[in-house]
A = this chain, B = another copy of it.
């Protein structure tokens, strides 16, 4: 993997507008990042698990499945549920990141007759289709309404 520029190299560059892509800037560390949880006890049930090929062909669509929970399924009730999954892609040799998709899971059994008695429940999983032109890393970010933000990632190779 090509070595990323250091903050010093960026400052010496001729780029008029310094778009620093790592750690937010010289010395500035993201404070939002640490809020993303990545370990969920022995029986994982909050991690947004990314399921897709390890290697894909450039420009050819492939499916990314993201599911919440590995060994244990996450609850899905009015009071406790997964609100959404967002998927991002960071190409290896790109200063920037791109959002692939954002999927809201909108139904959790809510109803006028009482929580959990509603007519429809949306499961916390989604499949999207994407194509890329180079290797990079896929990120998934999910949100539980009471347990906050959860993150996972998966490297992607392009043949």
Instruction: Report which A residues bind B (CB closer than 8 A).
Output: 16-26, 28-43, 45, 61, 78-79, 83, 88-91, 94-107, 110-112, 115, 118-123, 125-134, 136-137, 139, 141, 143, 145-149, 151, 153
Contacts and interface: CB of A to CB of B under 8 A. Distances in A.
A143 B99 CA distance: 8
25 contacts: A16-B41, A17-B40, A18-B39, A18-B40, A19-B37, A23-B34, A28-B39, A32-B36, A32-B88, A32-B151, A32-B153, A33-B33, A78-B145, A79-B115, A96-B147, A98-B106, A98-B110, A98-B119, A99-B143, A101-B105, A107-B130, A111-B146, A120-B131, A121-B132, A123-B131
* Stoichiometry (number of copies): 4
A139 B31 CA distance: 9
Contact of A151 (B30, B42, B79, B128): B30
B61 A37 contact: no
A26 to B, nearest CB: 7
Contacts of A34: 22-24, 29-30, 33
A24 B76 CA distance: 23
B146 A119 contact: no
A7 B110 CA distance: 26
